[in-house]
Amino acid sequence: MGKKKRSIYISTELVLILVLLAAAVLITMLMEPHQVRTAVISAIFVVVVVYFVVSTLRKERWFTIAGRILTDCSDQIDKYVNAVTMPTAITKKNGTIGWHNPAFSMLADMRCEGRNIFRIFPQLLKPSADRKVKIGSVTYVKEVIPAKLNGKDYTIYRLIDVNNTYEASDLYRIVTTAVCHIQVDAYGDLLRGTAQNDHAKIDAEIDRIIAGQAAGLRGVYQKYDRDKYLMFFERRYLSSLMQGKFAILNQVKGIDTGNAAFTPTLSIGAGVGNSPDDANKNAGAALELALGRGGDQAVLKDESGYKFYGGGQQAIEKRTRVKARMFSHALKNLMEQCEKVVIMGHSVPDLDCMGAALGIYACARQAGKRGYIVLDKSNAAVQGLVDEMKRDPDYKEVLVTPSEAERLLEDQAMLVVVDTQIEDFTIAPQLIPKAGTLVVIDHHVRGTTHIEAPTLSLFEPYASSTAEMVTEIIEYFSDKIYIKPLEVEALLAGITIDTKGFSFKTGVRTFEAASYLRKLGADTTTIRHLFQDDLETFSTRASVVQNAEVRDGIAISWCPDNVKNPQLLAAQAADSLIGIRGINASFVLCRQGDTVIISGRSIGGINVQRILEKLGGGGHATIAGAQLKGIDKQTAAHELRQAVEEYKKES
């Protein structure tokens, strides 16, 4: 063992130096035999020289060892050690430091070669499972990398300041995984609408496009169902997808199906996170949001929230009613297990909201349960319907205040939220956490803020109205269901008001629902009475339309302060504005308390949903809204104009 150790430090040059020095001492003693003092001094000189030579060679040897370790280890470790800004040191098995970079020396505030790393930083003695160490005021992540050289064990210590180290954040983004969940929209309808001999060709084209996208990202993909795919790639390639605005969406829409009425589209959910598991969960949540917004779009979820790409087209109507039938049966089963059914819509309810509420009330009655509808105060849009309910003794105890509903929910009661999926938009948000059984039914495009984890939910953004959805639920709820004439007329009025007299967002299923309600006895003449306005509301709406500012086909106007039902007036004025030639989209703002409310409408060329989403709102491509709290009129108008300009640039 001793010889092996000496071979590390003794070289030919060292032996030659020692021989020459010994010869010089010997000659001195022979020439001056009585000069013992001189001989002693010469001997001490030889020892000192030998010490410094050996020390120098030892140090040089450590640098050689460090270099050989870096050569023998992987390229990744080589990158870690050579990172100038990250404190890095190489030690023997006992902790003695043989090499370190300048960052480590600056952190220790001393020269560290030959010292024990655990005496300099006792924090490193913590178990390896605890990777965080605090040195001074900074918390570092400790990396301990074992290495071997010539059968000996060495250890590389690296301290990473994750918050402030550029190399760490850069490396993090490179090595983490991005996940994409991809689904073909309405795959069953697509196949039913195309010739059978074209099905294989359509599938092959979709596979080819997705495979090409995966190859372009240097990733992999897997088809795990007939219409579902998973794609994995490194996060650094995500920027190319974002810059291209997920061009794969348009590539798939370009596939020739042989039937111009049926075009394949994709819904994509992309996610990144601190781990592959986090990325996969984020991708799943993003896909759910993309599907809830009508499909034909990509949604990315990262640390900053959600980002949206595509989705400029109208949501494609699904012709199958399987989902409505399954939901109807599940709703009936839940109702049978509850004591009461409490129904709540959005604040300042309209006829669609109240019509849907009355439809669910009819279902509760059919299930043998007491039903209640939450209404804090009436407004001009529903006043006629509310008056009719108050005249009918069967509805004497149906309308309840939020405080009364809160007491009802203390028993085993179900809460059904209709015509909204945003908690803060409901009449009484405080009721939602108190509900043991929570059901949500809505036709609006799903936003990033929605009621989390309801017991049962039905979101159909392609539906014309919530009243249409509830009508389909009623059809499958029971073979012989009794519905009062007022309930049927309220449902048909809800469909009529949201489709602007069957001219907007009206599909085959919309007419089927209206036909079913007509068979049940809906009187269209009675419905017209529900739409009547008072003279004051009509005059104020006319002044809002007259004072609109029109620029590039987009009209923006304000409701006067201190008017009755400002939110309803803004919606009606926005509807009136898009009926004027040359106006493609309209936005009407009103103040209600400390909140500025914006109602947006479009005839289809401009997506008002994407514009108002920039302000925290949402809705449909042709009907959307937003609420801005704590700002004045001028600021709200300025932010709206900025959102419009951003939308123009994106489009």
Sequence ranges of the binding site for Mn(2+): 346, 350, 352, 419, 443, 498
* CB 284, CB 271: distance < 8 Å: yes
DSSP 606: S
Residue ranges of E strands in 375-420: 399-400, 413-418
* CB 307, CB 337: distance < 8 Å: no
d(CA 573, CA 540): 9
Q: Residue 552: exposed, middle, or buried by beta-carbon count in 10 A (0-12, 13-18, 19+)?
A: exposed
Q: Would you tell me how many other CB atoms lie within 10 Å of the CB of residue 24?
A: 13
CA dist list (Å): 48 to 52, 53, 228: 6, 9, 77
* CB 286, CB 301: distance < 8 Å: yes
* CB 430, CB 406: distance < 8 Å: yes
β-bridge partners, 177: 234
d(CA 282, CA 303): 10
**CA–CA–CA angle 502, 318, 259 (5° rounding):** 100
**CA–CA–CA angle 68, 72, 77 (5° rounding):** 100
Joined together, the tokens standing for residue 515 give 């036909």
Known binding residues: 346, 350, 352, 419, 443, 498
Joined together, the tokens standing for residue 571 give 């919606």
CB < 8 Å & 24+ apart, contacts of 332-335: 332/363, 332/367, 332/477, 332/478, 334/414, 334/437, 334/439, 334/455, 334/456, 335/363, 335/364, 335/367, 335/369, 335/414
Alpha helices per DSSP H over 143-230: 166-175, 187-192, 199-216
**CA–CA–CA angle 343, 348, 349 (5° rounding):** 45
